[in-house]
Amino acid sequence: MQRLRLKADGRIVELRGGQEFPLEPAMPAFEFADAAAVPTARNLRRRARMTQIEFAARLGVSVETIRNWEQGKRLPRGPARALPAVISPAPETVFAALAAQN
């Protein structure tokens, strides 16, 4: 019987002999064409001149989420993976659109 574990960062690992072995995804994960060109959460927040609390409130996520992204403990998952690429060119427009939704 195969034993699997879901990790906090969204990865699935197989448990064998007390060790974890990453499972390869069936489909390749979405990646930006030029990952180096996508700014980090910290850089985006600083460019917007916001605190972590303000940035989290604007995005509708917890401050802990922002801290984890900035410290590299976690990466945005699901639709949040697109946030850096979407926010980067026009942060004011994105934040205005998000504010209109609330």
Residues 3 and 18 in one domain: yes
53 pLDDT band, cuts 50/70/90, is: very high
Domain containing residue 93: CATH number: 1.10.260.40
Q: Tokens in use for 82?
A: 């697109």
For CA atoms 83, 88, 90, 91, give the dihedral sign: positive
64 has a pLDDT exceeding 80: yes
- Mean residue pLDDT of the chain comes to 77
Q: Is residue 54 located within the same domain as residue 83?
A: yes
Which residue range(s) make up the domain with 5?
A: 1-26
Give yes or no: residues 69 and 43 share one domain.
yes
Number of domains comprising the chain: 2
Q: Are residues 60 and 79 in the same domain?
A: yes
pLDDT of the residue at 24: 64
Residues 41 and 68 in one domain: yes
Q: Tell me how far apart the alpha carbons of residues 23 and 75 are, in angstroms, rounded to a whole number.
A: 18
> Tens digits of per-residue pLDDT, 71-99?
888 888 877 777 777 788 878 777 777 77
Q: What is the pLDDT of residues 26-50, one digit of tens each?
A: 444 444 444 455 578 888 888 888 9
